[in-house]
Amino acid sequence: MTGEPWGPSADGLDQPYWDGLTRGELRLQRCGKCETWIWGPQWVCGSCHTLDPNWESVTPTGTVYSWSRSWYPFITELADRVPYVTVLVELPEAGHRRVLGILTGDDTDAIRIGDPVVGHIEHDEGATWPLLRWRRSTEGAQA
Amino acid sequence: MSALTMRGAAAVVGVSELHYRRGEAPAGELRMTLEAILAACSDAGISPRELDGFVSYAGGGHDGAVIGGALGVDDVRWSNMMWGGGGGTVAAAINNAAVAIAAGQAECVVVYRSMAQADTGRLGYAKYHYGPHFLAHGVGSPAQVCALRTQRLLEHDGVPRETMRALVLAAYRHAQNNPTAQGYGKPLDEATYESSRLITEPFHLYDCSRESDGAVALVLVSADRAKSLRPDPAYVLAGAQGAPGGYSSIIDNDDQYATAGFAGATGRPGVADRLWAAAGLGPDDVDVVQVYENFSGPAVAALIDHGLAPSGPAAGEVLTVDNLTAGVGKLPVNTSGGNIADSFVNGMGLAVEAVRQIRGTSTNPVAHAKTSLFIGGPMAPLVSSTLFAHEDVL
């Protein structure tokens, strides 16, 4: 898979995010002045209005805020994956900011809001950019 | 200009809607737009030459200069495209026309939208409408973005999934009385709904809007002029647009995530609150509702946002098939069949049906309807509503 419709924006705003994935890190923005976590990528902190937020590495551990299982191949490049589950994951370590990702593993059927998940970075064969994906976590799972 | 300046200052006096099965339009978008505008002017009893304001939404290149030039109008005084996602701004476009008239910027404003698959493809599969931080994770359609929010509404807030089904079945029930509805002659039952294929959970096929080719136009004039033109103008009693800052525009990090965008941030009035305040009315005063169903779940959320149904499990007590059916229930919704069972020209046909209810010309008329609410595209980054009213309410 080459020429996928994702990767750094032409204006360079989110280049550190993609560079982080290449280095095996999830990076999100955080204001250097008021320390507010920011996502999606922005040129300015919406809290104190300082320009050019920093990028910080975040441990990809969180809980499912919502999810949807896609059956229709809306994205041609992912047609061979349907049905797949996209999770929206809340990250306590990053000010409860939420990030998206595809859920992998053999136990995606029973996914529920509130489930703990752990992120990992996958580099699909032939793809230009690695991506953040999620697995259900057995540690600390809620009863 | 206070909200009161706008209250009842303008009225819809002409409407037209043309729709065809998707891909089967007899003409392109520009010609259909002109045809719909001519028909709306005829319905209003005015000359197209009198049009001096032009408002549309959701894109398209047919601005006031193009349309005004084609129609040989005397003057173009107002030409606006509403910013915002897709059908979210459909009611805002009508509100914008009313604002122009109330503020004296224009006298005769047409609001219009046209869609032909041959010209602009299909909205539902608007490929790469979303940016890389959605696409990389398999989200590339409004259906998926709305599905994620709806799943939270159902699973976390406890709104029963059956409310979505009730909205869809009521729409199909209405369509059986509307010969021009695409769902006419095709009644839908619970079993067929439940067994239809999954698109993106929690949406089945029938939870998703149709897409039609066609064009819709509404002509608005001042209240004084409206009275001279016809006995049954649909007054714009109130309108509101917007969303809490950041809603649906910061990659799913907004606080009002499981709302449709009409609810306010904590402690602040939202779009629905502003609508009711400007109207001097509340949800209990509404006789009939047309709510844009891009998908059933966002429409349910929009009804909750407007206070027409409670949130949580109690929503299931109000949002039943019977209660949503004209002539049967207290909250008749989408009385032409709506985007799901009638037709979908970016949701603008719903505005025409809202006007028909004030005129008493709906195929599912709500007896003595004096207030008719039109709710634009829910879960878009910017949403909007218009409350139409009979002269008696002014």
Report the phi/psi class of residue B217: left, alpha or beta, with left for phi > 0 and alpha for psi in -120 to 50: beta
Contact criterion met (CB < 8 Å) for A113 and B152: yes
Residue A107 domain-assigned (yes or no): yes
Looking at residue A140, what is its pLDDT?
52
pLDDT bin (cut points 50, 70, 90) of residue B317 is very high
Q: Are residues A106 and A54 in the same domain?
A: no
The helix (run of H) or strand (run of E) holding residue B353 is helix B349-359
If contacts are CB pairs under 8 Å, which of residues 102-131 in chain A contact chain B?
102, 112-113, 129, 131
Q: Are residues A65 and A93 in the same domain?
A: yes
Residue A4 domain-assigned (yes or no): no
Structural domains in chain A (count): 2
Looking at residue A141, what is its pLDDT?
47
Q: Are residues A114 and A67 in the same domain?
A: yes
**Domain B3-116+208-393, second-level architecture:** 3-Layer(aba) Sandwich (3.40)
Contact criterion met (CB < 8 Å) for A68 and B155: no
- Best residue of B125, B134, B137 to probe chain A, by most A CBs closer than 10 Å: B137
Residue range A3-49, pLDDT digits in tens: 789 999 999 999 999 999 999 999 999 999 999 999 999 999 999 99
What gap in Å lies between CA B146 and CA B381, rounded to an integer? 11
What gap in Å lies between CA A117 and CA A111, rounded to an integer? 10
Contact criterion met (CB < 8 Å) for B198 and A9: no
Read off the DSSP letter of residue B323. Answer: T
Supply the ipTM of this predicted assembly: 0.96
Contact B205, B67 (CB under 8 A): no
Q: Is the pLDDT of residue B140 over 60?
A: yes
B81 backbone dihedrals φ, ψ, rounded to 5°? -110, 125
Domain of A136 in residue numbering reads as: 59-143
Question: What type of residue sits at position A76?
Answer: T
What gap in Å lies between CA A63 and CA A89, rounded to an integer? 5
A69 touches chain B (CB under 8 A): yes
B205: closest chain A residue by CA: A72
Cross-chain CB nearest to B135 (options A67, A75, A99): A75
Looking at residue B3, what is its pLDDT?
58
Q: Is the pLDDT of residue A143 over 70?
A: no
Residue A6 domain-assigned (yes or no): no
Contact criterion met (CB < 8 Å) for B125 and A74: yes
What average pLDDT does the segment B319-341 reach?
98
Contact criterion met (CB < 8 Å) for A113 and B137: no
What gap in Å lies between CA B260 and CA B91, rounded to an integer? 15
B212-239 burial, b for 16+ CB within 10 Å, e for fewer?
bbbbbbbbbbbbebbeebeebbbbbbbb
Q: Is the pLDDT of residue B128 over 70?
A: no
Instruction: Using alpha carbons, list the distances in angstroms from residue A44 to A96, A135, B24, B391.
Output: 19, 32, 47, 48
What gap in Å lies between CA A73 and CA B121, rounded to an integer? 17
Residue A50 domain-assigned (yes or no): yes
Looking at residue B84, what is its pLDDT?
81
Contact residues, chain B, for A88 at CB < 8 Å: 148, 252
Contact residues, chain A, for B141 at CB < 8 Å: 72, 74
What is the number of alpha carbons within 13 Å of residue B105 lying toward its C-beta?
A: 17
Instruction: Collect all residues from B whose CB is shorter than 8 A from any CB in A.
Output: 125, 127-128, 131-141, 143-144, 147-149, 151-152, 155-156, 197-202, 246, 250-253, 257
Residue A3 domain-assigned (yes or no): no
Contact B356, B349 (CB under 8 A): no
Cross-chain CB nearest to B200 (options A65, A72, A97): A72
Contact residues, chain A, for B133 at CB < 8 Å: 6, 14, 40-41, 100
Residue A7 domain-assigned (yes or no): no
CA dihedral in degrees (B367, B373, B378, B380; nearest 10)?
Answer: 150
A84 touches chain B (CB under 8 A): yes
Contact B189, B68 (CB under 8 A): no
What is the number of alpha carbons within 13 Å of residue A125 lying toward its C-beta?
A: 0
B245: closest chain A residue by CA: A46
Q: Is the pLDDT of residue B175 over 60?
A: yes
Residues with Cβ < 8 Å from B383, sequence gap 6 or more? B84, B88, B89, B241, B242, B243, B260, B261, B262, B271, B302, B376, B377
B183 or A76: which leads in pLDDT: B183
Is B12 exposed, middle or buried, given 0-12, 13-18 or 19+ CB atoms closer than 10 A? buried
Q: Are residues A27 and A88 in the same domain?
A: no
Looking at residue B345, what is its pLDDT?
96
Is B349 exposed, middle or buried, given 0-12, 13-18 or 19+ CB atoms closer than 10 A? buried
Residue range A66-106, pLDDT digits in tens: 999 999 999 988 999 999 999 999 999 999 999 999 999 99
- Best residue of A47, A74, A89, A122 to probe chain B, by most B CBs closer than 10 Å: A74
A14 touches chain B (CB under 8 A): yes
CATH number of the domain where residue A86 is located: 2.40.50
Contact B207, B295 (CB under 8 A): yes
Residue A1 domain-assigned (yes or no): no
Q: How many Cβ atoms sit within 10 Å of the Cβ of residue A12?
A: 8
Looking at residue B127, what is its pLDDT?
56
Cross-chain CB nearest to B132 (options A9, A99, A101): A9
Q: Is the pLDDT of residue B59 over 80?
A: yes
Q: Are residues A33 and A78 in the same domain?
A: no
What is the number of alpha carbons within 13 Å of residue B14 lying toward its C-beta?
A: 26
Q: Are residues A41 and A96 in the same domain?
A: no
Q: Are residues A49 and A112 in the same domain?
A: no
Looking at residue B122, what is its pLDDT?
79
Instruction: Using alpha carbons, list the distances in angstroms from residue A5 to A104, B36, B139, B140.
Output: 21, 38, 12, 10
Residue A5 domain-assigned (yes or no): no
Is 0.90 surpassed by the pTM of this model? yes
CA dihedral in degrees (B316, A67, B144, A124; nearest 10)?
Answer: -170
Q: Is the pLDDT of residue B1 over 70?
A: no
Q: Is the pLDDT of residue B268 over 80?
A: yes
Q: Are residues A133 and A80 in the same domain?
A: yes
For Cα atoms B268, B2, B240, give the angle at the middle one, nearest 5 degrees. Answer: 50
Report the phi/psi class of residue B148: left, alpha or beta, with left for phi > 0 and alpha for psi in -120 to 50: alpha
* % of chain B exceeding 90 in pLDDT: 94
- What SS3 state is found at A128? coil
What gap in Å lies between CA B327 and CA B335, rounded to an integer? 10
Q: Mind telling me how many Å the CA of A140 is from chain B's nearest CA? A: 20
Contact criterion met (CB < 8 Å) for A84 and B141: no
pLDDT bin (cut points 50, 70, 90) of residue B23 is very high
Q: Are residues A50 and A66 in the same domain?
A: no
| Domain locations along chain B | 3-116+208-393
- Best residue of A72, A97, A109, A112 to probe chain B, by most B CBs closer than 10 Å: A72
Cross-chain CB nearest to A100 (options B137, B149, B250): B137
What average pLDDT does the segment B211-220 reach?
97
Contact residues, chain A, for B295 at CB < 8 Å: none
